[in-house]
Chain A
Amino acid sequence: MSERLTPEILEKFQEVRIDPVKTKIRNKRLVKYAKAIGTTQEKYLDKEDPVEHPSYVGTIVVKALLGLADVAIEGPDGEEIKLILNPLFVVHAGQDYEFTDVHLKDGEKLLTNGKLDEVFIKDGMLFLVANCETTNENDEIVLKTRITAICRQGGF
């Protein structure tokens, strides 16, 4: 049990939004990523018109994970209450993807919005679970993802 983050405070963090994350898609990066993960499928390595590897979206939502460290609410006396005090104690613990048929295009800008779904302390560690949705400029959903992060003792 944390003295600072009481169950009542933790409950207030549920549904709190994470700062939106903007990403610009570049073909060059899609191909560089595909080479780095070792896929040999030509469609991912085509320099002119590559398809994004399914795991590429992980690079987008990891930015949302970093945003979890900045989540804060207003306390009873108007003070800011942050969930995480030291982001170096945060580790990535889980990542779920729900894919759509919408593919990424060179030059398009994506927006990832997310909010906390679960916040709890277990075994002395703070668990944060967030749901995120990434959309393109046509408001089409590119990806739904669920991120789990753990903040170790000393970091919250």
Chain B
Amino acid sequence: MVKIADLSEGQEITASVGPMTRDAIKEYGKASKDTNAIHMSDTAAVLSKLKGVIQHGMLSYAHVMVYLDDWIADSGNLTKITCEMRGMVRPGDMLDMKFEITEISGKTVKMDWAQYSMTPIEITKDGKEIVSFEAKERDWITEKDVNRDLVKEKDLDGAFTWLKTTWDEEGFPDGKYEEEVQEYTGGGTLKYRYRLSLKGTVEFQLND
């Protein structure tokens, strides 16, 4: 139960969801009737010079609204939300969401929010590549990302959740794939891109 008395201006809330998967993107496409080929077919996305499928911006947005709505639950309801779509999200990305309370007025709470995509590139240990992710294989990281200082490194000290995608003999992009969410626990250094995907504001009313 969320109550006004428990919240304060400047308070931050963070959450993560993922990794994103091709299967979930397809399910969203069918459920929302947005079956644009750049989301549903790697073959079509490659032909559109996208180097593979991209997630619907509205699905990334839905993840923000699911988190907020689950957090508020029966304590109130969303009244307004705005969203600017900034960066593409792909299978394998983790999404970090950050919310900051900017104003509390009566039972109305306003927040700024942002969503960042964390795209794993590789894990190295003692100078050797241990895991190479799809972003590296498909050349999803651009020179612009590097120039904008969006490619970072961090030491892994716990379990790292990632998406393993295995393609049949026909391979990417025309073949069939299988996806499996795995946990890597072997330590090392993770190289990844961290980029703004969505940002906006939200307003909700609480009951108490």
Contacts and interface: CB of A to CB of B under 8 A. Distances in A.
A60 B63 CA distance: 17
Interface string A17-36: 00000000000010011011
A92 interface: yes
B7 interface: no
Given A29-B31, A59-B33, A62-B58, A41 B69 contact: yes
Interface stretch (A3-11, A95-103, A131-139): A95-103
Contact-residue size bin, chain B (C-beta under 8 Å from the other chain):
20 to 34
Q: Which of the four size classes fits the interface of chain A?
A: 20 to 34
A40 B66 CA distance: 9
Q: Is the interface of B mostly helix, strand, loop or mixed?
A: helix
Contact of B57 (A32, A33, A92, A98): A92
A32 B31 contact: yes
A58 B62 contact: yes
Interface in A72-108: 88, 91-99
A95 B59 CA distance: 12
A92 B56 CA distance: 9
B192 to A, nearest CB: 23
A53 interface: yes
B33 A53 contact: no
Interface in A102-145: none
Contacts of A33: 31-32
B32 A94 contact: no
Given A92-B57, A92-B58, A99-B77, A36 B84 contact: no
Interface of B: 17, 24, 27-28, 30-34, 48, 57-59, 61-63, 65-66, 69-70, 73, 77-85, 200
Given A37-B31, A58-B58, A99-B78, 4 more contacts: A59-B33, A59-B58, A91-B85, A96-B200
Interface of A: 29, 32-33, 35-41, 53-55, 58-59, 62, 88, 91-99, 146, 148
